[in-house]
Structure 1
Amino acid sequence: MVNQSTAIMTIDFGNAHDRHWNDAETLRENGRLANADHLYGFSAECGLKALMQSFGMSVHDGEPADRGDWKHVDQLAERYETYRSGSTCPNAASYILVNDNAFNDWRASQRYAVESAFTQDRVDAHAAGAREVRDLVKTARREGLL
């Protein structure tokens, strides 16, 4: 039996992005707005980190090597832009995050918030932000960047 506390996990930001997106969509469709909102944030975060990794972000032992990259989505847009604009990857310039403040009001700590605080408008805005990242990830996959 593998000791889970010491097992090395394969980190795949792209897979995590897909998983969180799919769960967020299912939860939103079933009226579970609070958890959907939370997962839209994590989906966008993982998608951005997948792109950042392809633009040069180093990962060591399953985590970004630079502690400055240990950010949640509400603080990640500037780091993303740093990697994107400094990348030598083909077409990196076209991976612009247009709505770079979509998650300014999202916090990982909101997982503790009362469910009634999550309105349809709030969740829809975060879903739109996550969808923008999802579109960038899909383009990167189509172009062989991811």
Structure 2
Amino acid sequence: MSQTFSHEQHYARAARRHYEDATYLHDDARLPNADHHYGFAVECALKSLLLRYLSATMAPLKPGGKPSLWPWTPGASGKPQKYGHLPEIWSDVAMLVRGRSGSTLAAVLTSTDPFATWDVADRYHGAPSLSTHTMKERKEAAIRILTLHEQAIITGILR
């Protein structure tokens, strides 16, 4: 019997899966692919948090339409604010958690963004200028974000 998961559960499971793949690849010195999976792990964890705690939805963007492909919130101008890939989602979530519950997450996201130069398109050609320092920062950021994500799931509170 197949189990049905919510969007936030799918993102949570994907975050863990990408992180585990990143760790495996990192341990095998396959750094460009490890880096990419660390980025996807963070992106998926942030999307899960958006849906669980920050009023984002996957509802259709138009009445009667198909569910959205990305989490979104109503924008100030009435136009939906969509949350896609890194590095934009990092700063978007940082803006949402300021002044709300989630001060620990806000502190992580408002510190230096190790994914500022991360690009989803690197899956095609790798990150040619990936330094060991950048790799270390991204791995550590992924660990922090996934830890906060898992704590939020366990406690029901975004810290």
TM range (shorter): 0.7 to 0.9
| TM-score normalised according to structure 1 size | 0.77
- The whole-number CA distance in structure 1 between the counterparts of 2:48 and 2:107 is 14
Query: Relative to 1, partners in 2 of residues 1:69 and 1:145: Cα closer, same or farther, differing over 3 Å?
Result: farther
User: 2: CA distance between counterparts of 1:100 and 1:28?
Assistant: 22
Cα distance in structure 1, aligned partners of 2:71 and 2:128 = 34
- Equivalent residue in structure 1 for 2:70, among 55, 63, 71: 63
Structure 1 position 72 matched with structure 2 position 85: yes
CA gap of 1:97–1:52, structure 2 versus 1, over 3 A, is farther
1:5 aligns to what?
Answer: none
User: Which of structure 1's runs of 4+ aligned residues deviate more than 6 A?
Assistant: none
Calculate percent identity across the aligned residue pairs.
24
1:96, distance to aligned residue in structure 2 (A): 2.0
Letter aligned with residue 33 of structure 2? N
**Offset at 1:33?**
0.8
Does 114-123 or 97-106 show the bigger shift?
114-123
Distance 1:138 1:114, change over 3 A: closer
Aligned equivalent of 1:142: 154
When the two chains are superposed, the root-mean-square deviation of aligned CA atoms in Å is: 2.6
Match of 2:97 among 84, 101, 105: 84
Given the two structures, how large is their TM-score scaled by the length of structure 2? 0.72
Unaligned runs of 5+ in 1: 1-8
| Structure 2 residues not aligned, in runs of 5+ | 60-66, 74-79
How many residue pairs are counted as aligned between the two chains? 136
| Compared CA separation, residues 100 and 52, structure 1 to 2 (3 A) | farther
Tell me which of 123, 133, 139 is aligned to 1:111.
123
> Larger relative contact order (C-alpha < 8 A, sep ≥ 6)?
1
- 1:71 alignment partner, SS class: coil
Q: Deviations 1:16-73 (Å, cap 9, x if unpaired)?
A: 1101001000110111111100010010011111111122111122532455333212
SS in 2 for 1:128: helix
Post-superposition offset of 1:135: 1.7
- The answer to whether residue 56 in structure 2 is matched with residue 44 in structure 1 is no
Residue 93 of structure 1: aligned partner: 103
